[in-house]
Amino acid sequence: MPNAELMKKAPDIKTPLPGPKAKAIIDADARFVSPSYTRDYPLVIARGEGAVVEDVDGNVFIDCAAGIAVNSTGVSHPEVVKAIAEQAAKFIHMSGTDFYYEPQVRLAEQLAALVPIDGDVRSFFGNSGTEATEAAVKLSRYYTKRPNVIAFLGSFHGRSLGSLALTSSKSVQRRGFGPLMPGVYHAPYPDVYRFNGSADACAEASLSFIRDQILVHLTAPDEVSAIVVEPIQGEGGYIVPPTGFLQGLRDLTKQHGMMLVLDEVQSGMGRTGKMFAAEHFGVTGDIVNIAKGIASGLPLGVTCARADVMSWPPGAHASTFGGNPVACAAALATLRLLRGQYVNNAARVGEHMMNGLRALQDKHPLIGDVRGRGLMIGVELVRDRKTKARAVEERGALVQAMFRRGALILGAGRNAVRFAPPLVLSIDQADTVLGIFDEALAEVAQGHALARS
């Protein structure tokens, strides 16, 4: 069956899950692969097309996870596949750290015109989000000659030992790995849904925690190199901050000569219906980090910075594989496709999905909050709308119930689910997902009502 026919089929569950072929692979995985990975359900992919995924037993799913918000142009978009094949046939690797090649330069040139940074921009290339964080922290320290960093509770910036000191999404990600890099201070991320007061007061509470607690009691402003922030918090629960928050950070960092580092690893590359989430708030950073969606699934991380800030000398920082030519070719094709239609599609289909989810909120008391931008949508689940008691087990059950019905989603934070499909998702597919979500919510609500009675 050609891949294109897959698009017409989803979802189609033929075997109990996992099917026999999937089960054999999962059993081998348990023996030979690190147990540190978190698989919420037993999906073993065989192939895909757009926002449709087929597993090794022929079961077909609609994909609202996109390989953790990565497959921006869908699974194996033909134009991306072509760009990869053409580049691979020419040369697969040369190391941009010691030699020159055009795809890396062209990508840096295009990003300079796109990223939310004022003035001239230079880019450093790595292979992942965590490497982008490492580069941003090193660059901020190098440029400002200051040691400390401010990040936010609930944030995710990577798992290597430097970035892990900033990450504060779940304690299991840190447990047993200390001591971590010193000099990192965390402020609360403004979560309007969980704040007792207005959106403005919520933004102000986070900003004043930095101003009046961290910068008074813990570190002097002239020892802080950077504030690192996700313009929309991803792993922490797809939390959209109040309007004035990022501008407040911009003002604070300017006032004290700190770098404002925008981590757009998850929220960037069109996911929110604009190329970068910071555009929704009209804010520019000194440094912007990109990874995940930039190369449609090939490993690539980029740290973009004001050209005057990225002034470190030869030898100061580099990575053998960073900016691999095949990954850069995939990124150039991805950018063409995103600008061509998929950023707009994310805005259009995202709005449709948000409206659909808000309509479901009237019917399902389990839905406490629906939030997001474009196709970066979070739904927070609660046991009681008044107390906002977190529906943690229900969230797990809901993710499973969606899977059994043929829709792939992921959790975010403690009790939210996220919809992060490829940006090619159609309105029809969105409607199918909404229908499945409706059924899955009913099943979970019934199961848990029975369990409690």
Give the count of beta carbons closer than 10 Å to the beta carbon of residue 262. 32
Whole-angstrom Cα distance, residue 128 to residue 126?
6
Please select the residue that binds ligand PLP; options are 124, 143, 152, 156, rule is CB under 6 A: 156
Please select the residue that binds ligand PLP; options are 71, 128, 219, 253, rule is CB under 6 A: 128
Q: Counting contacts by CB under 6 A, is residue 134 touching ligand PLP?
A: no
Q: Are strands 148-152 and 407-408 parallel, antiparallel or unpaired?
A: unpaired
Q: Counting contacts by CB under 6 A, is residue 420 touching ligand PLP?
A: no
Nearer to ligand PLP, 133 or 345 (CB): 133
Please select the residue that binds ligand PLP; options are 230, 286, 380, 394, rule is CB under 6 A: 230
> Is residue 64 classed exposed, middle or buried when 0-12, 13-18 and 19+ CB atoms within 10 A define those classes?
buried
Q: Counting contacts by CB under 6 A, is residue 272 touching ligand PLP?
A: no
Whole-angstrom Cα distance, residue 408 to residue 41?
9
In the complex, least distance from residue 406 CB atom to ligand PLP, rounded to whole angstroms: 25
Per-residue x/- mask for ligand PLP, residues 287 to 326, rule CB under 6 A? ----x-----------------------------------
In the complex, least distance from residue 314 CB atom to ligand PLP, rounded to whole angstroms: 26
Nearer to ligand PLP, 158 or 378 (CB): 158
User: How is residue 223 written in tokens?
Assistant: 């020892």
Give the count of beta carbons closer than 10 Å to the beta carbon of residue 199. 16
Nearer to ligand PLP, 171 or 453 (CB): 171
User: Of the ranges 155-163, 192-200, 397-405, 412-420, which one interacts with ligand PLP (CB under 6 A)?
Assistant: 155-163
In sequence order, what are the residues at sequence separation of 6 or more whose Cβ sits closer than 8 angstroms to the Cβ of residue 190?
A: 202, 203, 205, 206, 239, 241, 242, 245
Q: Counting contacts by CB under 6 A, is residue 157 touching ligand PLP?
A: yes
Q: Are strands 376-384 and 389-390 parallel, antiparallel or unpaired?
A: antiparallel
User: Of the ranges 43-51, 112-120, 193-201, 230-238, which one interacts with ligand PLP (CB under 6 A)?
Assistant: 230-238
Q: Counting contacts by CB under 6 A, is residue 158 touching ligand PLP?
A: yes
Task: Name the closest residue to ligand PLP (Cβ).
Answer: 129
Per-residue x/- mask for ligand PLP, residues 244 to 263, rule CB under 6 A? -------------------x
Nearer to ligand PLP, 52 or 240 (CB): 240
In the complex, least distance from residue 446 CB atom to ligand PLP, rounded to whole angstroms: 33
Q: Counting contacts by CB under 6 A, is residue 168 touching ligand PLP?
A: no
Give the count of beta carbons closer than 10 Å to the beta carbon of residue 12. 14
User: Of the ranges 141-149, 203-211, 227-235, 242-250, which one interacts with ligand PLP (CB under 6 A)?
Assistant: 227-235
In the complex, least distance from residue 132 CB atom to ligand PLP, rounded to whole angstroms: 7
User: Of the ranges 143-151, 153-161, 217-225, 276-284, which one interacts with ligand PLP (CB under 6 A)?
Assistant: 153-161
Nearer to ligand PLP, 276 or 441 (CB): 276
Q: Counting contacts by CB under 6 A, is residue 266 touching ligand PLP?
A: yes
In sequence order, what are the residues at sequence separation of 6 or more whose Cβ sits closer than 8 angstroms to the Cβ of residue 450?
A: none
In the complex, least distance from residue 138 CB atom to ligand PLP, rounded to whole angstroms: 15
In the complex, least distance from residue 155 CB atom to ligand PLP, rounded to whole angstroms: 7
Give the count of beta carbons closer than 10 Å to the beta carbon of residue 47. 14
What residues line the site for ligand PLP (CB under 6 A)? 128-130, 133, 156-158, 230, 234-235, 263, 265-266, 291
